[in-house]
């Protein structure tokens, strides 16, 4: 038996040399391997202790018991999926600050994919957004040092810093032949959960993040817009969830509740035990804008809570979803505090499902109407035919004034810029007005036919 073992070792080493001839074996110390003869099984707890003991004794750098225990915990959790991890006390406090809607850094939501940091979205009005960071970007270097293989907590720690200081990151982007290098100035990030604007007879609300202020901000802004426009004049609502990385589940449920009727399913959560599926349903009939058409804008940066709201209103036929397919982050992480101030574990415990029982995880929300990002460019005299080019006097003046007045009717000075630059938003507004024209026409035909 001993001879057989020796022969086997020789064959393995010979094969290794064949494949890795560039490796100098003088750098490798091969210690005797203890062969398990099957007489006894090691207890699994002893196995982990043995690994930690070996690292503590033989690793090139000295590590404390605390460092090794935390590394072991994080390695175990991060091997499960990109969203499970260990949170030490500092990381736990930081996560709690983020859900309040105010934190320091660049303003990006990130995840891990194949040990590489992937951007979920750059939050609007943050340094990362201004620098052009996009959903789907991969961060490969931070300050010219590789970020591949680092945990999320390690990456966040490197990206965070004193406000006003700069950090340089290298990103890979689909469609770009070369890596992109971005130098971004850190700021204290104060994310305003909700923004609003009026487009004449259409209300526009953008939810940037589902922090604790999301539903209160939505309700307050919607009431304000409804009063400004007038209930009878309100043609519709554009709910903008683009580049919204998500946030709190209860806020997603409350926002959905604002637009649905009592008893309608918002989202379900399935864990390991399918018999314990939890359903979240609307608790009250909508009262703010009943029967008013809604368009929800989503894109690749819409994730988690954003996908819950979009899926709930889509499946309940309460809104038209427009834009691009969402990110597909439909897993639920439960933060479980550990005893003796040992931080917490963030563990994926279940998956989100839309009311029609479609999994959000990795699939995302498919828009009803696909609209790519684009830019509207104006052309001179595009409203006049060549045969009318020689019109003089008051007729030409009146035509030009009518065109100008029409544009003023559509938008005011405060939001003309976004209408000109945001093609997806422009199409959403056009759709809402088109729906109202159609509804008015069908009512008129029905009345005339009586």
- The catalytic residues are 304, 315, 329
The answer to whether the CB of 225 falls within 8 A of the CB of 203 is yes
Residue 359 and residue 274 in contact, taking contact as beta carbons nearer than 8 Å: no
The token pair that represents 229 in the structure block:
């426009």
Query: 321: number of CA atoms within 13 Å, CB side?
Result: 25
Q: What is the rounded distance in angstroms from the CA atom of residue 80 to the CA atom of residue 103?
A: 28
| H-helix segments, 20-88 | 44-58, 65-78
Q: SS3 letters for 387-448?
A: HHCCCCCHHHHHHHHHHHHHHHHHCCCCCHHHHHHCHHHHHHHHHHHHHHHHHHHHHHHHHH
Contact 428, 294 (CB under 8 A): no
Residue 137's closest CA among 111, 159, 158? 111
Instruction: Please give the Cα distance from 159 to 143 (Å, whole number).
Output: 9
Q: Is residue 171 a contact partner of residue 137, using CB atoms and an 8 Å limit?
A: yes
Are the CB atoms for 192 and 208 separated by under 8 Å?
A: yes
- The 10 Å CB-count burial string (b at 16+, else e) for 122-137 is bbbebbbbebebbbbb
């Amino acid at each position: 038996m001993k001879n057989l073992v020796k022969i086997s070792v020789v064959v393995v080493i010979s094969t290794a040399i064949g494949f890795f001839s560039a490796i100098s074996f003088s750098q490798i110390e091969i210690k005797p391997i203890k062969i398990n003869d099957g007489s006894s099984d090691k207890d699994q707890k002893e196995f982990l202790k043995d690994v930690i003991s070996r690292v503590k004794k033989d690793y090139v750098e000295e590590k404390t018991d605390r460092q090794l225990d935390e590394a072991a915990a994080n390695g175990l959790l991060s091997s499960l999926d990109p969203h499970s991890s260990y949170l030490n006390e500092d990381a736990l406090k930081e996560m709690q600050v983020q859900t309040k809607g105010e934190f320091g850094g660049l303003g990006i939501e990130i995840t891990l994919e194949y040990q590489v940091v992937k951007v979920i979205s750059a939050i609007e009005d943050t340094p990362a957004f201004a620098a052009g960071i996009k959903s789907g970007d991969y961060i490969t270097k931070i300050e010219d040092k590789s970020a591949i293989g680092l945990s999320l907590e390690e990456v966040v720690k490197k990206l965070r810093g004193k406000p006003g200081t700069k950090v340089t990151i290298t990103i890979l982007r689909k469609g770009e032949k070369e890596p992109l290098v971005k130098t971004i100035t850190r700021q204290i990030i104060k994310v305003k959960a909700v923004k609003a604007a009026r487009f004449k007879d259409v209300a526009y609300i953008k939810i940037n993040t589902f922090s604790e202020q999301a539903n209160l901000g939505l309700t307050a802004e919607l009431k304000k817009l409804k009063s400004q426009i007038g209930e009878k004049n309100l043609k519709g609502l554009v709910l903008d969830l683009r580049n919204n990385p998500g946030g709190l589940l209860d806020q997603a449920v409350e926002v959905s509740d604002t637009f649905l009727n009592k008893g309608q399913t918002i989202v379900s959560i399935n864990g390991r035990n399918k018999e314990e599926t939890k359903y979240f349903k609307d608790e009250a009939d909508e009262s703010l804008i009943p029967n008013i058409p809604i368009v929800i804008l989503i894109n690749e940066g819409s994730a988690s809570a954003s996908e819950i709201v979009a899926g709930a209103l889509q499946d309940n036929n309460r809104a038209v979803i427009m834009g691009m397919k969402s990110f597909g982050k439909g897993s639920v992480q439960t933060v479980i505090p550990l005893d003796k101030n040992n931080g917490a574990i963030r563990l994926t415990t279940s998956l989100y499902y839309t009311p029609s029982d479609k999994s959000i995880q990795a699939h995302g929300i498919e828009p009803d109407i696909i609209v790519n990002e684009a830019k509207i460019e104006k052309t001179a005299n595009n409203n006049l035919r060549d045969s009318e080019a020689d019109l003089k006097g008051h007729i030409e003046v009146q035509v030009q004034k009518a065109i100008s007045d029409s544009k003023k009717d559509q938008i005011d000075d405060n939001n003309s810029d976004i209408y000109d630059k945001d093609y997806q938003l422009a199409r959403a507004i056009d759709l809402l007005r088109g729906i109202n024209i159609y509804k008015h026409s069908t009512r008129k035909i029905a009345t005339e036919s009586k």
